[in-house]
Structure 1
Amino acid sequence: MLQLIFISWLSFFHPFFVSVTEINHNSRTQSVEVSCRMFYDDLEHALEKQYHTRVDIVKPADKNKVNQLLTDYIKKHLIIKADGKLVTLSYVGYEIQEDAAWTYFEVKGISKVKKFEVHDDLLFSEHPEQINMLHVTVGGLRKSTKLDNPESDASFGF
């Protein structure tokens, strides 16, 4: 019990910074579905720093502006190639779950894919300790990796 209290105390004073990006090829719809999970306070801070404007993701005064900022930020920091070709992420939306923001994107017109190359430096400029987890699924096979700041590139073959 004492050990659990100590670990909780340490995490309070030494928070961890992690994001999770899921990339799923959907052969039925011939699309790639992308979702990114980040702590919303870290994301708000990154948006405020990059765009020099106050951002409230949970209760936005202007949801269209928040959508625009999220789209621009993520497209700059999450770059995906499918079989060597750069894909264009189409923003679907976002939602808040507990202390995290989930953002969703889609890429249509990809009937099959053998290789994904991913550049993911989301929140790297905010936290030297940032860790970005990547999970990529093609044909039911899931592969994962961890990117420790400043490492931002990964490749997945299927």
Structure 2
Amino acid sequence: MKKNNVLFLLVWVLCSSFTLHKFYMAIYQVNHNVAKKRLEITARIFVDDLNSALDKKYKTKHFLGTDKQSSTDTEDLKKYLLDQLKITVNHQGKPITFKSSELDGNVLVCYLNCADVAKVTQIEVSNTILTEVFDEQENMMHFQFNGGKQTLVLDAEKTKGMLK
């Protein structure tokens, strides 16, 4: 009997060491386009995580990135992103516009922008995308403005950041 317990314990340890740990990260690139006077935002988010977040928020099943994707799925995505992502430039809140999205493997690439941004001295951002669903979610935000590059990593505990 003891031999069976030891064997079970050994098999359990080996199996558990090979299980995959889900990776919760989204990558955002925010560029200041001086010529067009706007911030251009590209968000790369795992599509299955987005579907889970939309399912939870809107209490219905979503099918982003599949042949079952509906216009309601797209509208819910747009509302969700615009509700969860806020940008303030030079102490002025800037409305974000959802432009489009496309599937790249298992990642949904979303294109957004903020118009009427001629000059940037300070950017404040609040990003709660997926943090209400996944405690381990990290939103890595890369910013390019005034000839420099800076990065913020936001998560469920730290959802806001500021750059100068």
- Which range, TM-score by smaller chain? 0.7 to 0.9
Aligned pair partner of 2:101 in 84, 94, 107: 94
- Maintained 8 Å contact 1:21/1:134: yes
CA RMSD of aligned residues (A): 1.7
Distance 2:152 2:158 in 1: 11
- Maintained 8 Å contact 2:120/2:146: no
Alignment correspondent of 1:149 = 156
Aligned pair partner of 1:14 in 12, 17, 21: 21
Amino acid at match of 1:71: K
Distance 2:97 2:140 in 1: 21
In the alignment, is residue 116 of structure 1 matched against residue 123 of structure 2? yes
Q: For structure 1, which segment, 117-126 or 54-63, has the greater mean C-alpha deviation from structure 2 after superposition?
A: 54-63
Aligned length: 149
Shift of 1:108: 1.6
Change (3 A) 1:111 1:123: same
Larger Rg: 2
Distance 1:126 1:14 in 2: 16
Amino acid at match of 1:103: C
Q: How is 1:44-123 mapped onto 2 (pairs within 5 angstroms)?
A: 44-61=51-68, 63-123=70-130
SS in 2 for 1:13: coil
Distance 1:145 1:27 in 2: 21
Distance 1:33 1:130 in 2: 23
- Maintained 8 Å contact 1:136/1:144: yes
State the TM-score, normalizing by the size of structure 2. Answer: 0.84
What percentage of residue pairs aligned between the two structures are identical? 23
Mind listing any 5+ residue stretches in structure 2 that lack a counterpart? 1-13
- Maintained 8 Å contact 1:60/1:66: no
Aligned pair partner of 2:139 in 115, 132, 135: 132
Shift of 1:60: 5.0
Mind listing any 5+ residue stretches in structure 1 that lack a counterpart? 1-5
Summarize deviations over 1:72-102 as a string: whole Å, max 9, x none. Answer: 1011111100111111011101011111111
- Maintained 8 Å contact 1:67/1:93: no
Amino acid at match of 1:96: L
Shift of 1:13: 2.4
State the TM-score, normalizing by the size of structure 1. Answer: 0.87
Shift of 1:63: 4.0
Distance 2:67 2:40 in 1: 25
